[in-house]
Amino acid sequence: MSASDHLIPVVVSNVVEVNPIIKRFEFKHVNGDELPAFSGGAHIVVEMLDDGTKRKNPYSLMSSPFERDQYAISVRRDDTGRGGSKFMHEQVRPGMQMKISAPVNLFALDLRARKHLMIAGGIGITPFIAQMAQADKLGVPFELHYAARSVSQAAYMDSLADRFGDHVSCYCDDQGESVDLETLLSNQPLGTHVYVCGPKGMIERVVQTATSLGWPAAHVHFEHFLAPPVGEPFEVHLAKAGIDITVGAEQSLLEAVEASGTPINCMCRGGACGQCETVVVACDGEIMHNDHWLDEEQRAAKQRIMPCVSRFRGKRLELDL
């Protein structure tokens, strides 16, 4: 059983072109019902029916957790990806009916924090928009440091600066601006928690700087959704179901398992939550572990795989499904 088994029927209530590469999509329940409650940092999985291919991609909710009549997400177009963001940008229009999962939060604010320090890179801004609405209402000190490639690509930068004033600092690469992490992370009061969402390199720099300055791991939070990578098609044998399936070049193993009607647990669909961890019965070849879940030892052992993002190359892969 997984969150995406119980999908909520929604209607696309609005599509807004934020800038040339980012669009915002707003959803309302088809019956006008209240949508499930969530906290800042939560994501939903959006089901896309694209000409026979079913995709389910996770997107962070950016709307306020205190407004339940609609959800909003922002999608950055990635023309080199598997086609999910392209589908959202090209096919999804106001009035269209879609299905979404209930929200799941793998990037929640730690409510014990005396201060929330948020660091966003590019489209990684979205979970923080919901979190800032929450922190603002709770009256907990917070600070956002938002870096983007260029002024034209910095989605919501102006509106956030207007809405949250001094709480927001902005940096644009093309203006030669960047976050001085060493100074920033050296001047936070005890009890501060830091949150980072953005490109892999940015997450690594924040985690590394905080760790070297002596920040406890429990005070450093990050979210890095992986889009399932594209790759060569491969065959998989599902031992319990007794069937062979083919994973297409732009399909994830998880999607192929789901398409075969075989039950499988999952939640984030981005290699972070651990729900879809599956036992490998036999493996003659190489597993491309793309997740953030298994450790080095588990990867080398080839006895576990995360079907949401990982792939296979070789003679035979047999899974306990």
Partner 1 sequence: MGPATMSESLIEESILSRPTYGTLKIVPGLAHYFLADASGAECVIRVVQELPRDMMEKVHILYVPTPGEAALITSLYALGAKRFEHFPTIEEAVAKLGDWLSDAKMGSQLYLAGTEGLVGQGVAKGEECGLDHTAVQCEHRGSLARRVQCVHCKTMIEDVTTQPVKCPSCDLLLLVRDHYSRRLAAFQGVCINAEDPSEEIEIKEVFK
List residues near partner 1 by CB under 8 A. Answer: 114, 185-192, 194, 210-219
Number of residues written out for the chain: 321
Comparing CB distances to partner 1, the nearer of 91 and 212 is: 212
3-state secondary structure 91-145: HCCCCCEEEECCCEECCCCCCCCCEEEEEEEHHHHHHHHHHHHHHHHHCCCEEEE
Work out how close the CB of 140 gets to partner 1 at its nearest, in angstroms, rounded to a whole number: 13
CA 19 to chain centre: 20
Cβ distance to partner 1 smaller for residue 26 or 143: 143
Spatial distance between the Cα atoms of 267 and 288, rounded to a whole number of angstroms: 20
Compute the least distance from the CB of residue 196 to partner 1, in Å. Answer: 14
CB nearer to partner 1: give 108 or 239: 108
Nearest distance from residue 208's CB to partner 1, in Å?
11
- Rounded CA separation 237/282 (Å): 9
Task: State the amino acid at position 173 in one-letter form.
Answer: D
Sign of CA dihedral 204, 209, 210, 214: positive
Instruction: For residue 44, give the H/E element and its range.
Output: strand 42-50
Nearest-approach distance from CB 105 to partner 1, in angstroms:
21
The CB-of-217 to partner 1 minimum distance in angstroms stands at 7
CB 211 to partner 1: min, Å: 7
Of residues 189 and 201, the one with the C-beta less far from partner 1: 189
Comparison of 220 and 306: residue with beta carbon closer to partner 1: 220
Apex 125 CA angle, 45 and 142, nearest 5: 120
Choose between 55 and 116: whose C-beta lies nearer to partner 1: 116
What span, in angstroms and rounded, lies between the C-alpha atoms of 77 and 87? 9
Of residues 213 and 300, the one with the C-beta less far from partner 1: 213
Distance CA 32, CA 68 (A): 10
Q: Is 140 exposed, middle or buried (0-12, 13-18, 19+ CB in 10 A)?
A: middle
CB of 92 to partner 1, least distance (A): 42
